[in-house]
């Protein structure tokens, strides 16, 4: 169940985006699951259609959902591919770290700093 907290300092579109992203990533929403229509979800949550539309656009840009015209929006398989790319990149990073003689704690700090900075390399 999606819950939007109107008292939260986090904008409603971001609350919605984050909750849906979490459900896609933890597989609560399986690949191929059809999401509610924008207008219907907006009405159900008491939000403007543009707010839901923005959350859906950001999820699509992240590769978590895909829109198929009039058929609607669906959980994308791209997330599965993205996770596999991340696993491969992690294995490559581990190999570099090992060759460079960097210990595990420092390697984790490097990754955390990169994630915090939004580094894309």
Tell me the pLDDT of the chain (121 aa) as tens digits. 899 999 999 999 999 999 999 999 888 999 999 999 999 999 999 999 999 999 999 999 888 999 998 999 999 986 566 677 788 899 999 999 999 999 999 999 999 998 888 655 4
pLDDT of residue 79: 58
pLDDT of residue 39: 97
The 3-state secondary structure of the chain, one letter per residue:
CCCCCCCCCCCHHHHHHHHHHHHHHCCCCCCCCECCCHHHHHHHHCCCHHHHHHHHHHHHHCCCEEECHHHCEEECCHHHHHHHHHHHHHHHHHHHHHHHCCCHHHHHHHHHHHHHHCCCC
pLDDT of residue 80: 63
**What's the whole-model pTM score?**
0.66
Strand-pair partners of 57: none
């Amino acid at each position: 169940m999606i819950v939007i907290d109107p008292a939260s300092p986090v904008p409603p579109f971001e609350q919605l985006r984050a909750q849906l992203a979490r459900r896609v990533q933890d597989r609560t929403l399986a690949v191929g699951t059809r999401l509610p229509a924008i207008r219907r979800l907006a009405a159900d949550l008491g939000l403007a259609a543009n707010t839901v539309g923005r959350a859906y656009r950001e999820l699509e840009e992240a590769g978590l959902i895909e829109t198929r015209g009039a058929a609607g929006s669906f959980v994308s398989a791209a997330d599965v591919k993205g996770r596999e790319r991340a696993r491969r990149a992690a294995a490559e990073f581990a190999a570099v770290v090992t060759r460079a003689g960097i210990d595990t704690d420092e390697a984790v700090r490097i990754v955390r700093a990169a994630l915090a900075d939004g580094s894309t390399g």
